Amino acid sequence: MEIQLSDENFEKEVLESELPVLVDFWAEWCMPCRAIAPTVSQIADEYAGKLKVGKLNIDVNPKMASTYQIMSIPTLVIFKNGEKKEQIVGNVPKSFIEDKIKPFLEPQK
């Protein structure tokens, strides 16, 4: 399940998260954002407990988009331990996103 992120809860939900976080920077009017949304939802469900997934509408929350210099959308950003680690721009295949996420997931014990 995805978390709705905002400028107000970003620090708590993303930067202070114990899990790695995939943030989907998007906007209502963005067709590629709508196209990638089901993929992001699938990843949220499949990696539940290992990865937190959040969506941040840049039109409603411009501060975080500006802070992380989001120039085009959709942009997916992976955060771990409060740091931006990886950035994916555009509507890319699920396998591409998974390849970028996996190095940041904790090994299974």
Query: Over the stretch 38-67, which tens digit does the pLDDT of each residue have?
Result: 999 999 999 999 999 999 999 999 999 999
In a domain, 48, yes or no: yes
Helix axes 94-101, 31-46, angle to 10 degrees: 50
pTM, 2 dp: 0.95
Please tell me the total count of domains within the chain. Answer: 1
70 catalytic? Reply is no
Q: What is the mean pLDDT of residues 19-31?
A: 97
In the prediction, which pLDDT does 107 show? 67
Query: Which position among 33, 51, 70, 97 bears the catalytic label?
Result: 33
Q: 75 is in which domain, residue-wise? A: 3-104
The count of C-alpha atoms lying within 13 angstroms of the C-alpha of 77, restricted to the half-sphere facing its C-beta, is 25
- Indicate which CATH number applies to the domain containing 15: 3.40.30.10
* Residue whose tokens read 């997931």: 105
In a domain, 109, yes or no: no
Q: Which of 29, 20, 27, 32 is nearest to 56 (CA)?
A: 27
58 catalytic? Reply is no
* 63-83 tens-digit pLDDT: 999 999 999 999 999 999 999
